[in-house]
Amino acid sequence: MTTNALELHAPVPMLDVNRQNGPLMAEFERVIGEVARSGAFVHGPACKQFEAASAAFCGVEHAVGCASGSDALLLGLMALDIGPGDEVVLPSFTFFATAGAVWRLGARPVFADILPGTFNIDPADVARKVTRATKAVMPVHLFGQCVDMDALREATGDIPIIEDSAQSIGATYRGQQSGSMGLMGCLSYYPTKNLGAWGDAGLITTNDAGVAAKLRILRDHGMNPRYYHSLVGINSRLDAIQAAVLNVKLNHLNDWAAGREQNARRYAAQFARLGVDRHLGLPQVAPECVSVWNQFTIRVPGGRRDALQQFLSDHKIGSAVYYPIPLHLQKCFADLGCQRGDLPVSEQAAEEVLSLPIYPEMTRDEQDRVIGAIAEFCGVAAMPVSRAA
């Protein structure tokens, strides 16, 4: 069997982190060895280096490492003393951690709808949801594209904004980096993110020195100095091995983002050439935004999303649904009294979205298989597709 035939029959994964990690393995082994020999596994030099590099990358004065992206959201809310009786406005169409952090503190998550084109929170609906009890707004820069921050600021006035930048490191809005536009930005380095650690890791960005100082105390049990507790904090420290891995990978992040952009452009060009865009909704990027394409998410109307996903699976092509149930309809939030129909755009998105492989290491042949299979499903062309684009 020829190499091309082998590639044709090999699975196309939704993501393959080993392809990214493999070429850097010698460098990973070197920096992890340095951590092991130093004995500084928490708050060590590797952590300080990553915090400084992250602050510079995101264009902020301060970066505070923590144990996960979920903890970054929690710590951001804790820094604002949010608790029972408070409300936080956030999108329903996102990962659970955004609302979960609010709920854990006894505050009330207030769900806003999204814009149909970008899947990001609708500032007009945020304005409708703000009350005197609103203590923060948490926009999520979903799938790698920033929220319309100017419109959001106009809708929220002086209410603090905590950006959920878990999926959008490196994305920009009018030239401003994700995580630099609110009071705080919360980043995740879960292994499947564009910048992924070898386990859980997170970070909070801010330009407010007082907020940064409070975050550093809160992440370490509220201690300052050691064994003296001015606050009730949590144990959420960035460990040095994860920081060492991230220090290596941060140097490659812009190149990886460029690879994702190239794949996104090729998807769009080929789908348009084949007429797929007449059958499916393609991702939209606002003109003021630069996306980092954490996901390439299409819409499959007419109740055919699950059929397309199964068709791709039958062709050994990975895909994923982010997210099948909006948060306002999750069982754990039933006490909030939300009903189906409350957020129609979010609910429709949950029924139609399907994310395709877009990682920068995917080969041209793999992408051709994805494009060809989708075209075949839509009845507009059969595999293979044009190699020109």
For the segment 290-302, what is each residue's pLDDT rounded down to a tens digit?
999 999 999 999 9
Strands laid side by side in the 134-137 sheet: 108-112, 87-91, 134-137
Give mean pLDDT, residues 163-190.
99
Q: What is the pLDDT of residue 389?
A: 56
**Domain presence at residue 125:** yes
Residues 218 and 260 in one domain: no
| Structure token digits, residue 381 | 């062309």
Kindly give, in sequence order, each residue whose CB lies less than 8 Å from that of residue 68, ignoring residues fewer than 6 positions away: 188, 190, 200, 201, 202, 236
Residues 46 and 114 in one domain: yes
Q: What is the pLDDT of residue 1?
A: 35
Q: What is the pLDDT of residue 3?
A: 42
Residues 237 and 157 in one domain: yes
Lowest average pLDDT, out of 1-5, 159-163, 189-193, 349-353, goes to: 1-5
**Domain presence at residue 25:** yes
CA distance linking residue 138 with residue 182, whole number of Å: 9
Write the single-letter amino acid at 96. F
Q: Is the pLDDT of residue 40 over 50?
A: yes
Q: For residue 304, what are the domain limits?
A: 3-20+253-378
Q: Is the pLDDT of residue 259 over 70?
A: yes
Q: What is the pLDDT of residue 387?
A: 54
**Domain presence at residue 353:** yes
| Structure token digits, residue 176 | 């401003």
Write the single-letter amino acid at 208. D
Residues 198 and 297 in one domain: no
Q: Of 225, 250, 275, which marks where a domain is finished?
A: 250
pLDDT per residue over 361-375, tens digit each? 999 999 999 999 999
Q: What is the pLDDT of residue 8?
A: 56
Q: Of 224, 250, 276, which marks where a domain is finished?
A: 250
Q: What is the mean pLDDT of the chain?
A: 96
* Number of structural domains in the chain: 2
Q: Please tell me what DSSP assigns to residue 89.
A: E
Q: What is the pLDDT of residue 4?
A: 53
Q: Is the pLDDT of residue 381 over 90?
A: no
Write the single-letter amino acid at 238. L
pLDDT per residue over 118-162, tens digit each? 999 999 999 999 999 999 999 999 999 999 999 999 999 999 999
CA-based radius of gyration for the chain: 21
| Structure token digits, residue 359 | 């990682």
Give mean pLDDT, residues 207-212.
99
**pLDDT over 90 for what percent of the chain?**
95
Q: What is the pLDDT of residue 305?
A: 99
Helix H, strand E, coil C: the string for 312-381 is: HHHCCECCECCCCCCHHHCHHHHHHCCCCCCCHHHHHHHHHEEEECCCCCCCHHHHHHHHHHHHHHHCCC
Give mean pLDDT, residues 213-234.
97
| Structure token digits, residue 71 | 């903890």
Q: Is the pLDDT of residue 94 over 90?
A: yes
**Domain presence at residue 8:** yes
Write the single-letter amino acid at 105. L
The CATH number of whichever domain residue 286 belongs to comes to: 3.90.1150.10
Q: Whole-prediction pTM value? A: 0.95
Residues 356 and 326 in one domain: yes
Residues 200 and 330 in one domain: no
Q: Is the pLDDT of residue 386 over 90?
A: no
Residues 158 and 62 in one domain: yes
The CATH number of whichever domain residue 218 belongs to comes to: 3.40.640.10
Q: Of 194, 224, 250, which marks where a domain is finished?
A: 250
Residues 213 and 94 in one domain: yes
CA distance linking residue 92 with residue 72, whole number of Å: 19
